[in-house]
Amino acid sequence: MLIKYEFLKILRKRSTLIIMAVSLILTAFLFGLPAMQFQTYDQDKVIKGRAGIAHEKQQYLKVSVTLSEEYITETIRRVQKLFEDADNVGYDGNENFLIGDAYWEEIAPKEKLLNMIAKTYDSPNENSGYQKFTDLDISDGAGFYKAVESKIETLLDAPSRGLSDEQKEYWSDMARKVDIPLKYGYYQGWEMIITSFELLMFAVLSICIVIAPVFSGEYQAGTDAVLLSGKYGKTKLITAKVTASFLFAGIAFTLHVIVAWALPLTAFGTDGWDLPVQIANTAIPYPFTFLQTALISVGIVYLILSAMTGLTLLLSSKMRTPYLVLIVLAPVLFIPMVLTPTGTSGIYNLILFLLPYRAAMPEIGKYISYQFGGLVMDVFSVRAVLYAVLTGLTIPLARRGFKKHQVM
Amino acid sequence: MELRLQHLSRRYGTKSAVDDVSVNFVPGVYGLLGANGAGKTTLMRMISGILDASSGEIRLNGRTIQELGEKYYAHLGYIPQNFGFYPEFTAREFMLYMAAVKGLGRRRAKSRTETLLSMVNLQDAADKKIKSYSGGMKQRLGIAQAELNNPSILILDEPTAGLDPKERVRFRNLISDFAKEKIVILSTHIVSDVSYIADTILMMKNGRFLLNEPISTVTDDIRGKVWEVVVPEQKAAEYSARFSVVNLHHENNMVRLRMINEDVPAAGAVMVEPGVEDLFLYYFGEEAQEER
C-alpha cells in the first residue's frame, strides 16, 4: 500500500511527466539519428535512409560467410590480383587504390570486411585498409587466426598499456575462448547500439532529477513532520520510498532502453545478434556475440542507474531541497564526460573508466583491467562490483538519513 | 495514561529553545500559550518524536520513547505548524496514504477515512485534488489525518493560524469532539482558541513554563487587577502609554479601555472579571502586544 502511494507521488507530479517526455524524445533523437542520417553509395549515386540500409544489407548477403583460412586467403588473393592490373589502380600521390569497376564491384560491397581483415595484419596505430593486402605473402595461406593471436600479443605487450604478466595472461586466456573460425554478416544495428551506451546517461540524469525530491521534497513541503511522527514513518515508509524509487527508476529506464534499442533495430534490423563481436575488430578479447555484449553493457548501465538512484536518495535524505541534490549530482554524472582518457593505464585512466559517464561505454577492445594482488578483473567485472557495492552502501545510508532527520 | 517530560531541554548552539522543562500530562486538553519564539513548536516536535532532546527524556506510562519505538508513534496524532500536503493527491488518497504510514490495515483505513472525512465535512470534496482546497479545508484535512489512528496523544501546533473566525470556531469544535479521553496539547498564540476548549493552560516564555494551571483557576493571580474605563479619545493614547491595555473600543467620541494594573488606574475605572487573554498580556506584556 505504501509503495503504491509513494510510486504515485513520484508519478503524479507534472514535472515527472515533463522530464520523462523530454528525456524520451532526446533518447529517441540520439538513437534515431544514425538511421536518419544513414547513407551509402553505389557507382552512380548516394543512397540515403531506408533505401541505403536495404542496399547495404543486400551487399552483405554476399559476405555472410564463415571466415575460414581458405576464404580469407582467397579474398586477399583476389584483391592482390586486382592490383596487378594497372588499369584498376589509381594513385593519389600517397598510396595506390583500386578504381572503376574493380573498386565498385569487388571492393565496395565488402569494404568493411576487407578493412577488418587488413587491420588484423596492421601494426598497432596503423590503419592501412585493403591496400595492405599487396604487402602480404600468402603463398602458404593467409595465416589469419595466427595474425589475430599475434596482433593481440603485440597489443598486450605495448609498454603504453602497462599491463602486468598476470593481466596479459588474463586477456590471452580470454581471447583463446573466442570461437574460430568467425562467422561474418551484417551487424549494423547492434554496432550502433554498442557504440552509443553513454547516451543513456541522459536518461539516468532525468531519472535522478525525478527522484531527487523523494526525501528532500518532504522536508521542503513540510510533510516530514507528519510522516516521521507516524508509526511506520521511520521504518516501513522508508522501505516504501526506496522501493518506489527503484521501481520508478527501473521502469523509466527500461522505457528508455526500449526506445534506444527499438529505433536502430527497427531501422537496421536485428541481423547479427548471434555473430561474434570480433567481426568488428579482431583484437577484441571478449568471447561474446553482439547480443551478449549489448546485454552485458546494458546490465552495467542498469547497475550505474541503481547506484545513482541510491546516491540520489542518500543526498535527498541529507539535503533540505531537491535543488541542492541536483547541484551535487549533476557534476558527478557529467564531469567524466569532459575528461578524456590519456591511455588505458595509470590511476587517472583506470578511475576515469569507472566513473558514471565513461563506465557506460563498453570499451571492449581496450584491454582495461584491474589487478588486486593476484586477482585480475576486466573493466566489466570491476564496474559491476563497484556499482553493486555503491548501491548496497547508499541505500542503508539514505535510510539512516531520513530516519535520523531532525525537524527543525 | 501519563505522558511525562523530565528535565527536557533543546539547545541550538548556545541558545536554549527549551530549557529544563518538566511536566506531567494526563488526559485532557492543554492550551500551550507563548509568544513567538517561546519554544512551543520545539517542545511539540520533541514530544512528537521528530526532534531529539539535547537532554532530559519523555516517558509514556513509565517507558521512554526510545524504548517504545513504533509503539510510541502509534499513540500519536500530530498537526505541525505549516503542514504541507501533496497537491496532486485527492483527500481520500491522502487519508489512505497517511493511514498506511500510521499502520492501519486496509479495511480500517477505508472506514476511518470515510468516517473522518465525513466528520470534518470533506466527504463531498474527497475526490478533489488537494491543490484545489482552501486553507480551511486543508486544516480540516490535517486534523482528520491526525485522528486516523484514534491517537491517545494529539498534538496540534498552531492549528488555527490563517483561518477566518468562522473556520476557527468550526475547528475548535472539531478538536473538542476528538479530545475525549486523550491528551491534547494545543499550541497557539490566539488566546481565545484555548480559552474555550482547554482544561489546563501552560504558558511558555524563553523555553520555560511560567504557568501550569487548570483553566478554572488560571486567572486567579490577576483577579482584582483587570479594569475597564471609558475616557475621551485624546486621553486614550496617554492611558495606553501608562498602562497595559488589553483592549480598546471606540464608542462615539469616547474610548473604552480594558487594562491590567495592580491598583485602580483612574477615577471611574471598574474592576472586571479577568480572562485568559488578560493573563496572557499580564505575562507577556509588550511581546504579546506586538504579536496582536
The answer to whether position A180 is within a domain reads: no
Q: Cβ–Cβ of A8/B101 closer than 8 Å?
A: no
Nearest residue of chain B to residue A232 (CA atoms):
B101
Chain A within 8 Å of B89 (Cβ-Cβ)?
A: yes
B72-121 pLDDT tens trace: 999 999 999 877 889 999 999 999 999 999 999 999 999 999 999 998 88
A218-241 pLDDT tens trace: 999 999 999 999 999 999 999 999
CB within 8 Å of A398: residues ≥ 6 apart: A215, A238, A242, A310, A313, A314, A316, A317
b/e A136-148 (16+ beta carbons within 10 angstroms → b): bebeeebbbbebb
Q: Which A residues, 380 through 399, put their C-beta within 8 Å of a C-beta on chain B? A: none
Q: Please give, rounded to a whole number of angstroms, the shortest distance from the CA of B83 to a CA of chain A.
A: 6
Minimum-distance CB partner of A227 among B52, B101, B149: B101
Q: How many domains does chain A have?
A: 2
For position A400, what pLDDT does the model report? 96
**Dist. CA A216–CA A316, nearest whole Å:** 5
For position B289, what pLDDT does the model report? 53
Domain boundaries, position A355: 2-37+186-403
Q: Which residues of A touch B109 (CB under 8 A)?
A: 1
Q: Give the angle subtended at the CA of A23 by the CAs of A21 and A26, to the nearest 5°.
A: 110
The answer on pLDDT for B67 being more than 50 is yes
pTM of the complete model: 0.89
For position B292, what pLDDT does the model report? 47
Backbone angles phi, psi at A228, to 5 degrees: -70, -20
**Dist. CA B186–CA B156, nearest whole Å:** 5
Q: Are residues A131 and A194 in the same domain?
A: no
A310-347 pLDDT tens trace: 999 999 999 999 999 999 988 888 888 889 888 888 89
Q: Cβ–Cβ of B73/A230 closer than 8 Å?
A: yes
The answer to whether position A165 is within a domain reads: no
Helices (H) and strands (E) in chain B, counts: 10, 14
Q: Are residues A242 and A193 in the same domain?
A: yes
CATH fold of B3-214 reads Rossmann fold (3.40.50)
Q: Cβ–Cβ of B103/A231 closer than 8 Å?
A: yes
For the ranges A53-57, A234-238, B137-141, the one whose mean pLDDT is highest: A234-238
DSSP 8-state class, residue A183: B
Q: Where are the alpha helices (DSSP H) in B21-133?
A: 40-47, 65-68, 70-74, 91-101, 106-119
Q: Which residues of A touch B106 (CB under 8 A)?
A: 1
Q: Are residues A208 and A343 in the same domain?
A: yes
Q: Are residues A335 and A238 in the same domain?
A: yes
What is the residue-wise DSSP string for B272-292? Answer: ----HHHHHHHHHHHHHHHH-
Type of residue at B218:
V
Q: Are residues A305 and A226 in the same domain?
A: yes
Domain limits, CATH 3.40.50.300, in chain B: 3-214
Interhelix angle A290-318/A213-221, rounded to 10 degrees, is 20
Q: Are residues A86 and A215 in the same domain?
A: no
Chain A within 8 Å of B60 (Cβ-Cβ)?
A: no
Q: Are residues A118 and A260 in the same domain?
A: no
Minimum-distance CB partner of B102 among A230, A406, A407: A230
Boundary-marking domain end, from A160, A177, A205:
A160
Q: Cβ–Cβ of B83/A8 closer than 8 Å?
A: no
H/E stretch holding A375: strand A375-378
Q: Are residues A144 and A261 in the same domain?
A: no
A117-156 pLDDT tens trace: 999 999 888 888 888 888 888 888 889 999 999 999 999 9
